[in-house]
A and B are shown apart, each in its own frame.
Chain A
Amino acid sequence: MSTYSIQTERLNLWYGDFQALINVSVDVVDGIITSLIGPSGCGKTTLLRSFNRVNERYGNVTTTGEIKVLGKNIYDPDVSLPELRKSVGMVFQRPNPLPISVYENVVFGLRVHSSRTSLKKSESDEIVEKSLREVFLWDDLKDKLKVRATTLQLEQQQKLCIARLLPLKPQVILMDEPCSALDAEATRAVEELMVSLVGRYTILIVTHNMAQARRVSKECIFMLLGEIMEHSRTKDLFITPQNPKTAEYIEGRYG
């Protein structure tokens, strides 16, 4: 068992002719929150999406280099994408609950990964309760399980999107600006939730909010134009940045 959940080795990625990731070599530590910061368009989302190979669904993508998740090279021929994505879940900028009930949202992943009949009602009830409790939604939603998820408040939607991953027992949760559509109060609640997940899951969060990165993450990665400029403990990165570009960015000189 490595102490790194995700390791990349000279990862390059192109959308057609456009190189979005350049020689990215990064080790993401197990069980902590790592934040990923950088100006718009520097490739943060792209990097996240390469960790469960979902980039390949977005058009003409070429990748070189190595990505190891939990010690396994995910480009090995024996890697099954559904199984990979089970272990590496993703939360998006805009909460994207599916247009089905709260209940069905939570068990959606399980249904996708199990044959038609193998999921018993009692089992799934239990899983739904456990997952919703884990994201602090159970008390709010236990009477609304049949409600269409897209009618919930944004904060609840976003927490539900996190809850949706949990039944699959992921090791890694990727979050792409999970709070940027939320107000301050909801942001605080989701941050609290993220912190409560530390230890059980490796969390990688993209954020444009420096304060958030400082609040929740233990390590921080700064990207610029497809390259990793700096990766260190969040405290160090914000107080004594090693790279002058990092300093410029966190002082707010771009994006």
Chain B
Amino acid sequence: MSTSATTSPNPVTLDPQTRFRETALVRRKKFTEKLARLTFLTMTLLMIFPLLLIVSYLIYKAAPILSINFILDNPVRGMRAGGIWPAFLGTLYLVGISLLVSAPIGVLAAVYLNEYARENWFTRIINLAVVNLAGVPSIVHALFGLGAFVLFAGMGRSILAASLTLAIMTLPVIIASTKEALGAVPTAFREACWNVGATRWQTIRRIVLPNSISGILTGIILQVSRAAGETAPIMFTGAVFFKAIEKGDIFAYGLFDQSMALSMHLFTISTQVPNVPEALPYGTAVVLLGTVLLVNALAIVLRVYLRSRKKW
């Protein structure tokens, strides 16, 4: 084998100890790599710090007022003292009922779109509509709810009308997120089912749903937070500034009653009522946040339970 010093990739004249040294380019790449890593880390921290800060600040400010009675009492003295029971219960009703409507419809519609429907102009239009509706601002839903439920359907301003408005608002997002979760189940699983003669429903029931339930639940839970936090859609359709109800009575509202809601109560006492003690709005915010977190935690428990029930 003849190698000339000029063409050989490993010239013999090179001192072995100098091999694999860093070149200028490698140094630059290493720097960029570090920079990228640092940037991403910073952004993550930037995201987490304010969150922690907000939560601890809220709790710190709310501490003097937080107690079980704060949750169970009516507001008194022009909402400058007392508790938040009517608002708390109202939010539970509104979010609960809206979810009772939008979750089943949304999930079933998504199952149809993803598992049964053929790709044609009709399903394309539906999918387009879903995506676009998911992006409509909540105030538009509010106006729709006012027109459709309060006035046209004659429900008046009521928990029912407000819940349905929230349902309309969350529905497209639930459909979209459920479709995404279903789409993440590998087609190979479905093929395996079809080829032993499973019907579509058996395929969905035994394989597709158990493997997408986590994603589906996550999508729904995110909408709980959204529905609980929105003010605009309920303001026009059923939420009121003030309404006293029986302390601690969870059946205090009827479907056609108007109700208070945490989000709106927070808005009211922070901006509309003068001389409210500082702890009050913070306390309300903490309860709102705590409720949402509790629902999230329940969802996690449910997910773990569902997963443990899946046999393998």
Contact = CB atoms under 8 A, between A and B. Distances in A.
B198 A92 contact: no
B193 to A, nearest CB: 7
Interface in B183-205: 186, 188-199, 202
15 contacts: A54-B191, A54-B194, A54-B195, A92-B192, A98-B192, A98-B193, A98-B207, A99-B189, A99-B312, A101-B311, A108-B193, A109-B197, A112-B193, A112-B196, A165-B196
A99 B186 CA distance: 10
Contacts of A60: 118-119
A168 interface: yes
Contacts of A59: 118-119
A97 B118 contact: no
B21 interface: no
Contacts of B27: none
Given A94-B188, A96-B188, A112-B202, A89 B311 contact: no
A85 interface: yes
Given A59-B119, A60-B118, A96-B189, A168 B196 contact: yes
A214 interface: no
Contact of B211 (A99, A146, A168): A99
B118 A104 contact: no
Nearest to B200: A57
A89 B196 CA distance: 6
Contacts of A148: 312
A149 interface: yes
A109 B197 CA distance: 7
B310 interface: yes
Given A96-B192, A98-B189, A99-B189, A113 B311 contact: no
A146 B312 contact: yes
Interface in B104-120: 118-119
A100 B311 contact: yes
A98 B118 CA distance: 24
Q: DSSP class of B's interface residues: helix, strand, loop or mixed?
A: loop
A85 B211 contact: no
Interface in A128-168: 146-149, 161, 164-165, 168
A47 to B, nearest CB: 15
Interface in A68-89: 81-86, 89
A52 interface: yes
A105 to B, nearest CB: 9
A168 B197 contact: yes
Given A86-B197, A99-B211, 12 more contacts: A52-B195, A81-B197, A89-B195, A98-B192, A99-B207, A100-B310, A101-B312, A104-B311, A108-B196, A112-B196, A113-B196, A147-B312
A90 interface: yes
B235 to A, nearest CB: 46
A97 B197 contact: no
A100 B198 CA distance: 16
Interface of A: 52, 54, 57, 59-60, 81-86, 89-90, 92, 94, 96-101, 104, 108-109, 111-113, 146-149, 161, 164-165, 168
Nearest to A167: B196
A101 B196 CA distance: 17
A164 B196 contact: yes
A85 B193 CA distance: 10
Given A54-B194, A97-B192, A82 B199 contact: yes
Contacts of B196: 85-86, 89, 108-109, 112-113, 164-165, 168
B312 A104 contact: yes
A85 B194 CA distance: 8
B119 A113 contact: no
Contacts of A108: 193, 196, 198, 206
Contacts of A86: 196-197
A102 B199 CA distance: 21
A246 to B, nearest CB: 30
B312 to A, nearest CB: 4
A84 B199 CA distance: 12
A97 B186 CA distance: 11
A90 B198 CA distance: 13
B92 to A, nearest CB: 36
A57 B312 CA distance: 27
B188 A92 contact: yes
Contacts of A147: 312
Contacts of A104: 311-312
B264 to A, nearest CB: 45
Contacts of A84: 197
Contacts of B190: 57
Counting chain B CB atoms within 10 Å of each CB, the highest count among A85, A96, A146, A148 belongs to: A96
Contacts of A81: 197
Nearest to A82: B197
A164 B193 CA distance: 10
Counting chain A CB atoms within 10 Å of each CB, the highest count among B190, B197, B199, B207 belongs to: B197
A149 B118 contact: no
Contacts of B311: 100-101, 104
Nearest to A53: B194
Nearest to A84: B197
Contacts of B312: 99-101, 104, 146-149
